[in-house]
Amino acid sequence: MTVLAEQVRRRRTFAIISHPDAGKTTLTEKLLLYGGAIHLAGSVKARRAARHATSDWMQMEQERGISVTSSVLQFEYQGKAINLLDTPGHADFSEDTYRTLIAADSAVMLLDNRKGVEERTRQLFEVCHRRRTPIFTFVNKCDRPGADPLQLLDDVERDLGLRCYPVMWPITAGDRLIGVYDRGERQIHLFEKGEDHGQTRVATQAGELDDPSVRALIGDEAHDKLLADIELLDMAGEEFDYDAFLAGEVSPTFFGSAMTNFGVEPFLRKFLELAPAPTPREATTGEVKPEDPNFTGFVFKIQANMDPKHRDRIAFVRVCSGHFEAGMQVKHVRTGKQVRLAAPTQFLARERTHIEEAWAGDVIGIHDRGNLRIGDTLSSNGDLEFQGIPRFSPEHFARILIRDPMRRKQLDTGLQQLSEEGAAQVFYAESIVGPAPIVGAVGQLQFDVLLHRLENEYGVSARLEPLSYHHARWVEGPEADVRRVATEGYGRTMVFDSKERPLILFDSEWTMKTTIEREKDLKFHDVAP
């Protein structure tokens, strides 16, 4: 086995998806704790926390106790190089999440044990399903009473069409979670709740199912219930189908509590065993295999001002093939220019470590002076391009007004950089040097983040004047026809994006649909063409 093949084989790059408040950031923190990347787990409950979650590094995240931007968390555990892509749970930041999922090789779907599949979970599952991404399921918050585990798994299959295969099964005494049972190894893992609210690892005891000392530890009632549950699962007779898992049809399922750390370490160990190493990626020249010695990668995220003192800008690049070396020259395919990738970094959220090399499956940070865009391909192997990352149509629009007209230059700089990293989309009524810009967002909370970052990172105090439009479509066709459609009647207007491409904004779905049905000579797109 070549060095490249060996390095690819030991990499795991994955994202965690969930509905808000299912415990995603807490689970992320505990995976870092058990992976040895941190020694004291933080909390996402901001105002009461002595220590914040590692992945919530932005000031606004710490103030509100929410995740508003994706984080990259990289660490080594049991011989594996792990790239954990933490995504915002809030639906208002869905674009950032969609882009990050494209960079992942697998996903962990986190469910609340009382609520099962929720709307946001359903949306993110569909993104993974379309890409046939292998999905693990972790049923969280099992330290409190919840739905019957069998009923919950049945609900997942009926709701998502995803078959769940229980790898671990919860062991309960009354309403308390006391351990998990590993069906493959036929091992019981019992946990002792700590006194530090899950900041450190919990004490664990392992034993055989038929060990009398285990029965004595968990009690006759809990032991008999566990035996009955296991018999019921075994009677189903279903074997774990690894190929179906890789195709996104079967989900290895685990139970635990991220808050108390119960079940986290057994899940992490099994995850590393089952999760796929980096997989081939489709490009314009065909399939690109990670073992291809030529370096290729694509930009899936841009983050400005991770270090406010230095006003920096980092492009996050998923390495798709080959061996990356610091300082190497590669082709920036969109512009056709050669670029030197100097001073690359790897991450633990905001913390950075300078690296000299990386391999297919890794995520690296590249210092960028404004040349790179989301979706750009970097290649030492000619003009191949990976599938672009779409910009989605916003649903909320507002004109942005600054209190000090002398700060217009700073406003334009801030909007340009924040738009390029996907924090919001910027539009102009006629041209980019015209009147007050219009900002578009998938959700209202994006506007709060935009104003906060403009003031804190660019020194621009601004306010928003909401507009009555809720749908947008990029339009292709003769300019005269586009202008006619945008100006005749009510409930429509035309704007331009930063690349001077025209869009029509609509005040209602009915107005949009009737316009599209009537104007057969124009092409309307819900993502940027």
Task: Specify the pTM.
Answer: 0.77
Predicted local confidence at residue 39, as pLDDT: 54
Digit-by-digit pLDDT tens for the chain (529 residues) are 799 999 999 999 999 988 888 888 888 888 888 877 665 544 433 333 444 454 443 454 444 444 434 467 888 889 999 999 876 654 545 667 777 888 999 999 999 999 999 887 887 888 888 889 999 999 999 988 989 999 999 999 999 999 999 999 999 887 788 889 999 888 898 887 766 556 777 767 787 877 787 788 788 888 888 899 999 898 877 889 999 999 999 999 999 999 888 899 999 999 999 999 999 999 998 999 999 999 999 998 887 665 556 567 788 899 999 999 999 999 999 999 999 998 788 866 557 788 899 999 999 988 888 788 888 999 998 889 997 676 667 888 999 999 898 999 999 988 888 887 777 789 988 644 457 899 988 777 778 888 888 898 889 999 999 999 998 999 999 988 999 998 887 889 999 987 888 999 999 999 999 999 999 889 998 877 6
Predicted local confidence at residue 246, as pLDDT: 95
Strand residue runs (E) in 147-196:
163-166, 168-173, 176-182, 187-192
pLDDT digits (tens, 9 = 90+) for 396-416: 899 999 989 899 999 998 888
pLDDT digits (tens, 9 = 90+) for 228-287: 999 989 887 788 999 999 999 999 999 999 988 889 999 999 999 999 999 999 999 899
Q: Enter the tokens of residue 516.
A: 């599209």
Predicted local confidence at residue 162, as pLDDT: 95
Tell me, yes or no, if the two domains 15-71+86-274 and 281-379 fold the same way: yes
Any idea which fold 396-525 has? Alpha-Beta Plaits (3.30.70)
CA–CA separation, 92 and 109 (whole Å) = 19
Predicted local confidence at residue 64, as pLDDT: 44
The dotted CATH code for 281-379 is 3.40.50.300
Predicted local confidence at residue 296, as pLDDT: 96
**Is the domain covering 15-71+86-274 a CATH 1.10.3720.10 domain?**
no
Helices (H), 280-395: none
Q: What is the CB neighbour count within 10 angstroms for residue 480?
A: 8
Predicted local confidence at residue 88, as pLDDT: 62
Q: Enter the tokens of residue 326.
A: 């610091």
Predicted local confidence at residue 60, as pLDDT: 45
Tell me, letter by letter, the H, E, C secondary structure of 25-91.
HHHHHHHHHHCCCCCCCCECCHHHCCCECCCCCCHHHHHHCCCCCCEEEEEEECCEEEEEEECCCCH
CA–CA separation, 363 and 455 (whole Å) = 30
β 11-18/80-86 pair status? parallel
Q: State phi, psi for 98 to the nearest 5 degrees.
A: -60, -40
Name the residue ranges covered by the structural domains of the chain: 15-71+86-274, 281-379, 396-525
Q: Categorise residue 331: left if φ over 0, alpha if ψ from -120 to 50, beta otherwise.
A: beta
Q: Enter the tokens of residue 528.
A: 């940027």
CA–CA separation, 100 and 162 (whole Å) = 22
Q: How far is CA 176 from CA 193, 222, 360, 513, 524, in A?
A: 11, 10, 43, 52, 54
526 CB contacts (<8 Å, ≥6 apart)? 392, 393, 473, 474
